[in-house]
């Protein structure tokens, strides 16, 4: 049998795997993605896109498409804790997205699309960019050596330089590598149900209306989807109380849905019933040689807070641009170590925040003794600080996040959003990012240094390439008239100098050598 050769093999075509595939293809990398399932997800399980996720999607040219596949996109989000849909409201966590003011942090809206409608957008874009994605194709085994990975698939053998494992929470790849996980582990089981019904005015139809239900008979959640009249219901399964998966027949889940909706005569059309573990765990390492873990293969988080899918997208993007830089010879292999250094602490904070949400919203009995207080979810999404060899940290502030509405422009953080004008068009500084290295400055003298840099660095000079309100750009970026900020392909500040420097060309070249681990 002929051995197929690619640069990267991605195992798993969920949010993490398809994002990695799309970005690798966009970067000109030969990528093959395989998934044992017959197609993309039919379950809208990971719904909602943070502004940071929309930023990454914008880099790939699909942000408008993602918004377009969800009629609920940017229309609103309500989160309620109640005994039932028409019962006692215990807490209104969020009434509307307008309560979250992010005008100073981003120009992009949140999305509300479900995983079932987002994955086809990712798949189509990956295909347009030249990626090869094959469903109904299973990874049977793999071996790695100093030069690459040999994978035996159900359809043949593939030789790749690197393998990205995005094969889910039970990740066979992670288990074959012998990489353990840490954290609380499995904290419960749940039954998920997708059903069609007319719920009348129980839920607001034009927004994402999410209810966490603390009913006397069960604990669960219910939310609408992008398909009118279709809903997702989840309820806890307690083995200690004698619950068994096989007990949750259509008749039983119908009874529970009636209790949840306060519609005793409702006859829901049950489309899907499935069991899954509620777990909190993070892999002890995200890289093992030439294999890198992404998405749920690297971490599993409770579904309270909508951070799991967004984290998977972030993983996929991060691992992809770094692999591409190494494969093109622009970076040393050490750049791949920055993937774990940056994404593992983020995953740990996401899991911790989700656990605290679960205790508040669903499992008041959950014992979180010893866990730290959670980080603010908005700061996690838009104000997280990357710390690794791929960033030149220039201060001793130990805090992992900052308020994105008051950006400092420091290294490791997202390069700040600043409203600008380019050729008469209103834009954001973030529109410059996502396609390579960018040097932001108010000093034209940096152009010569950028022109000599390898890889290519695109200079963006205030007053020449764009204009902004007086003092706003230099204030948010924290640089003076002669300073400069080097922004990575993921929109993160890798290095900056507040003031002008002598021999800009050698300084910039030395910085690139450092952050690209050359």
List the catalytic residues: 212
198, 250, 256: which is closest to 224 by C-alpha? 198
Which alpha helices (DSSP H) does 235-278 contain, by range?
A: 250-261
Q: Which residue has the tokens 């997205």?
A: 97
Order of strands across the sheet that contains 437-441: 457-461, 437-441, 484-487, 493-497
| DSSP 8-class letter at 49 | B
On whether the CB atoms of residues 384 and 334 are closer than 8 A, the answer is no
Rounded CA gap, 341 and 384, in Å? 13
Alpha carbon separation from 159 to 2, 21, 101, 153, 334 (Å, rounded): 10, 17, 48, 11, 22
- Contacts of residue 365, defined as CB under 8 A and 6 or more positions apart, other chains included, come to none
Rounded CA gap, 303 and 311, in Å? 12
Phi–psi pair at 420, nearest 5 degrees: -135, 170
Which alpha helices (DSSP H) does 271-401 contain, by range?
A: 308-327, 337-361, 377-382
79, 516, 178, 512: which is closest to 333 by C-alpha? 516
Task: Look at residue 400 and give its three-state secondary structure.
Answer: coil
Look up residue 459 and give its two tokens.
């200079």
Task: Look at residue 462 and give its three-state secondary structure.
Answer: strand
Calculate the CA dihedral of residues 178, 302, 354, 49 and round it to 10 degrees: 100
- Contacts of residue 65, defined as CB under 8 A and 6 or more positions apart, other chains included, come to 121, 125
Look up residue 196 and give its two tokens.
């069609």
On whether the CB atoms of residues 14 and 41 are closer than 8 A, the answer is yes
Which alpha helices (DSSP H) does 178-336 contain, by range?
A: 250-261, 308-327
CA angle (461 as vertex; 457, 467 as ends), nearest 5: 140
285, 342, 296: which is closest to 319 by C-alpha? 342
CA angle (301 as vertex; 286, 110 as ends), nearest 5: 100
């Amino acid at each position: 049998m002929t051995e197929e050769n690619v640069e990267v093999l991605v195992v798993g075509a969920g949010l993490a795997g398809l994002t990695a595939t799309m970005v690798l293809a966009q970067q000109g990398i030969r990528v093959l993605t395989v998934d044992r399932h017959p197609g993309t997800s039919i379950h809208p399980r990971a719904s909602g896109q943070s502004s940071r996720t929309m930023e990454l999607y914008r880099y790939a040219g699909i942000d408008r498409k993602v918004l377009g596949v969800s009629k609920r996109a940017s229309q609103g989000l309500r989160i309620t804790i109640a005994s039932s849909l028409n019962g006692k409201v215990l807490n209104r966590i969020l009434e509307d997205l307008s309560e979250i003011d992010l005008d100073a942090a981003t120009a992009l809206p949140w999305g509300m699309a479900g995983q079932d409608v987002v994955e086809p957008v990712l798949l189509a874009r990956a295909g347009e960019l030249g990626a090869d994605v094959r469903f109904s194709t299973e990874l049977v085994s793999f071996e790695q050596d100093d030069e690459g990975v040999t994978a035996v698939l159900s359809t043949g053998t593939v030789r790749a330089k690197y393998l990205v494992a995005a094969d889910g929470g039970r990740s066979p790849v992670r288990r074959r590598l012998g990489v353990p996980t840490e954290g609380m582990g499995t904290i419960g089981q749940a039954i998920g149900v997708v059903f069609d019904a007319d719920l009348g005015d129980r839920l607001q139809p034009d927004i994402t209306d999410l209810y966490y239900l603390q009913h006397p008979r069960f604990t669960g959640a219910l939310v609408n989807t992008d398909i009118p009249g279709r809903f997702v219901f989840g309820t806890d399964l307690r083995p200690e109380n004698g619950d068994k998966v096989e007990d949750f027949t259509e008749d039983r889940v119908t009874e529970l849905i009636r209790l949840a909706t306060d519609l005793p005569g409702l006859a829901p059309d049950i489309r899907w019933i499935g069991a899954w573990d509620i777990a909190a765990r993070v892999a002890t390492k995200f890289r093992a040689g030439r294999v890198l873990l992404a998405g749920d293969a690297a971490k599993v988080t409770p579904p309270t807070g909508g951070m799991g899918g967004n984290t998977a997208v972030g993983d996929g993007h991060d691992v992809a641009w770094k692999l591409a830089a190494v494969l093109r010879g622009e970076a040393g292999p050490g750049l791949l170590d920055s993937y774990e250094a940056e994404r593992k602490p983020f995953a740990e904070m996401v899991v911790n925040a989700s656990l605290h949400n679960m205790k508040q919203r669903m499992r008041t009995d959950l014992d979180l003794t010893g866990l730290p207080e959670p980080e603010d979810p908005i700061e996690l999404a838009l104000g997280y600080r990357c710390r690794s060899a791929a960033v030149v940290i220039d201060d001793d502030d130990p805090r992992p996040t900052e308020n994105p509405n008051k950006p400092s422009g420091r290294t490791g953080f997202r390069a700040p959003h600043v409203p600008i004008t380019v050729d008469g068009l209103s834009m954001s500084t973030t529109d410059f990012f996502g396609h390579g290295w960018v040097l932001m400055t108010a000093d034209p003298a940096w152009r010569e240094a950028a022109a000599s840099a390898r890889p290519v660095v695109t200079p963006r000079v205030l007053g020449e390439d764009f204009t902004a309100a007086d003092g706003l750009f230099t204030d948010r970026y924290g640089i003076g008239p002669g300073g400069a900020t080097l922004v990575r392909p993921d929109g993160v500040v890798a290095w900056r100098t507040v003031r002008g420097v002598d021999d800009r060309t050698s300084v910039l070249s030395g910085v690139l050598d450092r952050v690209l681990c050359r």
